């Protein structure tokens, strides 16, 4: 473990926003179509086909991540009640982009006065809505795995309480924590760390994470097809083209994409978007992990400077939040 640099914190946050914004215009498309948008890797964003958003618009993945990041910066600790309160205006004020059903139901319960401890959508709904937003927790608690796992599970519970969702949020937080605090990535200890923290929340999910080395050694197309079906009952087919919003394949494909090319942000994010499906989320998560490892210099500057939330909360604001988080952890530097 090494002390993480400020550039890695910035890389994580802007790396997520870029991956999210690249995937948003082609969310839900099949692989043969999404692959053309990242081959070669672009140096600019394309507008969403609906015509309602500026190029570089990111979605609920990064909007909710930003809410968590802002809470950490302003409260100086993990405060699920405060985080939940920051989710509410995104819905109340009509700002949320690409909202998920389970998350929306939970936020409506929060708006009705239900505590964050009871607001989460229960099993069997197991989408990726809590895993997608959890990167700042990995930055904040990178050196305290026990506290990290508890925080990720608690923040997941605001909207998602299925044990698979808790494990998924813990896994992504752990991946960011490991990536931001190591100078090299070897698959075995990385996977051991991530699976070890996820296991108390869902042993079956952890076992699938431990299966990643075999997938990394097999044909990529076959590996991705197995990942698409991971966690489903035998014989059941995914209900999305590419990677569905089900938390298990989402987390697995993002970890796979990062471990496939850990030192190359563009290759990792481009690969995961090329698999089709819920590509704003897979792009966001992969971008956060890779950005945490490689730093902001690995994220194309033309893209990082163009991310936006309806012409607000762009590069300058996200960078400032990431830098403030780092400074809170390193007050003497």
Burial class (CB in 10 A: 0-12, 13-18, 19+), 311: exposed
Q: Is 248 inside a domain boundary?
A: yes
- Mean per-residue pLDDT of the chain: 97
Burial class (CB in 10 A: 0-12, 13-18, 19+), 54: middle
Helices of type H across the chain: 6-23, 31-37, 60-75, 80-92, 101-111, 116-119, 135-140, 145-157, 163-180, 187-198, 203-209, 212-217, 220-229, 247-260, 265-274, 279-294, 301-304, 315-329
Q: Which pLDDT does position 5 carry in this prediction?
A: 97
Cβ partners under 8 Å of residue 43, min gap 6: 300, 302, 303
Mapped onto helix, strand or coil, the DSSP state of residue 28 is coil
| CATH classification of the domain holding 74 | 1.10.4080.10
The answer to whether the beta carbons of residues 20 and 309 sit under 8 Å apart is no
**What mean pLDDT do residues 168-182 have?**
99
Number of domains in the chain: 1
Could you give the CA distance from residue 250 to residue 131 in angstroms, rounded to a whole number? Answer: 9
The answer to whether the beta carbons of residues 16 and 324 sit under 8 Å apart is no
Q: Is 200 inside a domain boundary?
A: yes
Could you give the CA distance from residue 54 to residue 45 in angstroms, rounded to a whole number? Answer: 9
Residue range of the domain that includes 150: 6-42+49-329
pLDDT digits (tens, 9 = 90+) for 110-161: 999 999 999 999 999 999 999 999 999 999 999 999 999 999 999 999 999 9
Q: Is 1 inside a domain boundary?
A: no
Assign 99 a pLDDT band (cuts: 50, 70, 90): confident
Whole-number Cα distances in Å, 52 to 8, 34, 92, 317 = 32, 20, 19, 22
| 240 phi/psi in degrees, rounded to 5 | -125, 155
Count the neighbouring beta carbons within 10 Å of the beta carbon of residue 188: 10
Whole-number Cα distances in Å, 149 to 83, 168, 182, 275, 284 = 17, 10, 19, 29, 20
**What mean pLDDT do residues 98-102 have?**
93
Burial class (CB in 10 A: 0-12, 13-18, 19+), 296: buried
Q: Is 195 inside a domain boundary?
A: yes
pLDDT digits (tens, 9 = 90+) for 190-225: 999 999 999 999 999 999 999 999 999 999 999 999
Cis peptide before 121 (omega within 30 of 0): no
């Amino acid at each position: 473990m090494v002390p993480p640099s400020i550039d890695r914190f910035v890389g994580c946050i802007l790396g997520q926003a870029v991956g999210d914004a690249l995937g948003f215009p082609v969310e839900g498309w099949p692989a043969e179509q999404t692959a053309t948008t990242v081959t070669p890797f672009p140096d600019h964003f394309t507008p969403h086909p609906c015509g309602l958003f500026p190029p570089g618009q990111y979605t609920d993945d990064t909007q909710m991540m930003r809410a968590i990041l802002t809470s950490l910066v302003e409260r100086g600790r993990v405060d699920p009640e405060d985080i939940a309160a920051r989710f509410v205006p995104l819905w109340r004020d009509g700002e949320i982009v690409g909202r998920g059903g389970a998350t929306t139901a939970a936020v409506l319960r929060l708006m009705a006065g239900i505590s964050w401890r009871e607001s989460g959508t229960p099993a069997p709904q197991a989408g990726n809505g809590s895993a997608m937003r959890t990167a700042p927790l990995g930055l904040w608690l990178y050196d305290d795995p026990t506290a990290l796992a508890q925080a990720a599970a608690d923040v997941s519970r605001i909207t998602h309480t299925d044990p698979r969702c808790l494990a998924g949020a813990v896994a992504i937080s752990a991946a960011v924590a490991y990536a931001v605090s190591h100078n090299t990535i070897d698959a075995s200890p990385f996977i051991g760390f991530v699976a070890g923290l996820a296991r108390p929340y869902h042993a079956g999910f952890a076992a699938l994470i431990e299966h990643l080395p075999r997938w990394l050694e097999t044909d990529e197309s076959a590996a991705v097809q197995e990942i698409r079906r991971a966690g489903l009952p035998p014989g059941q087919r995914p209900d999305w083209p590419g990677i569905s919003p089900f938390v298990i394949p989402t987390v697995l494909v993002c970890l796979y994409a990062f471990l496939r090319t850990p030192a190359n942000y563009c290759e990792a994010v481009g690969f995961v978007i090329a698999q089709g499906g819920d590509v704003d989320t897979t792009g966001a998560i992969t971008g956060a992990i890779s950005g945490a490892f490689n730093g902001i210099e690995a994220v194309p500057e033309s893209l990082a400077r163009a991310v936006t939330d309806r012409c607000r909360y762009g590069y300058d604001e996200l960078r400032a939040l990431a830098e403030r988080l780092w400074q809170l952890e390193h007050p003497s530097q």
